[in-house]
Structure 1
Amino acid sequence: MVIRRRNHTHHRPRAVLVHEFRPRDAATLASWVGSAQEAFWLAPRSRPPLTADVIASWGQPGGDRLTLRDPVNRALLAYGEVNPLSLARGSYWLGHLLVDPQCRGRGLGRELTRALLQRAFEHHGARRVTLVVFRDNVAAIACYANAGMNADGYETHHFPAYNRRERLLRMAISVDEWRLAR
């Protein structure tokens, strides 16, 4: 799959490639997590530090782990997952979305979110896709909204790995909303 994105330097469309996750990329992904706060936002159920082995263990049966890659040199640009939430209801959730720190602010998070939504709706036949995001992660909230997701309430979660309880914003999009937004 190829997704067109804008190259902010030259204002020309530039393609990114969507690939399946390769376990050998886990070390690169771990190197992108630059702070304890980023680790908490990314994977609050994973005990720190986020190592390659921890990242390699993510994902669920029946889900997909996708990466975005540069079309020229195949460099890893972003990673995320789409996982089943309730197959009976056709619900899926997105998780562990991460963009190379050198590439942040260029729309790759939005492109990754769109690729994950497309995979959920077209490949898995999802009827609804959700995610939860920390309320102070303003950049992520804007990214998901720009990809077509909408605020859908709040959820409180306990994260034993950090001994914290947090109220998270739930964002969602239905298959009908996704079709209209395309």
Structure 2
Amino acid sequence: MTDRLRGARRAGIVAAMAGTLIGTTACGVILYPERKGQVDGRIDPAVAVLDAVGLLFFIVPGVIAFAVDFGTGAIYLPGSANNTTLDLNEAELVKLKKGELDAATIERMIEEKTGEKVSLADPALRTRTPDSQAWLPLDAVLNDTQFAALTGVRQQAAR
């Protein structure tokens, strides 16, 4: 191989690696790291277009960019999720009688107080403990026995 071909080959490899590196970085995660952790909402058109540019150059990096942005929630516009969050300082404490602590009663009470129908077994439901700021699925806050006792749904062994 001549030096000229070797140099062209090396430049091509460097350009391909640079393109792959740029393409595999999800635009939403880079531009808006504070959006990580969102679960739902309206898609930010600017982030979607930037991720789609990756599809124009290379299919795999574009798909990876979309997957990372959807997986982290960085592709969603902030404040556009169709959910509600509670201010615990303004929350109303509801006391239940002994033996009333079951999923149906809790779901009914939430619906009466908020007007929203919920299912405690819904994987999209998020909750948090009073000492935490992180919103997690209910099955992550309770152990398997507590979750099964409350919802009547048994968790799979491997999580």
Scaled by the length of structure 2, what TM-score is found? 0.24
Which structure is larger by alpha-carbon Rg, 1 or 2? 2
Structure number with the higher strand fraction is: 1
Scaled by the length of structure 1, what TM-score is found? 0.22
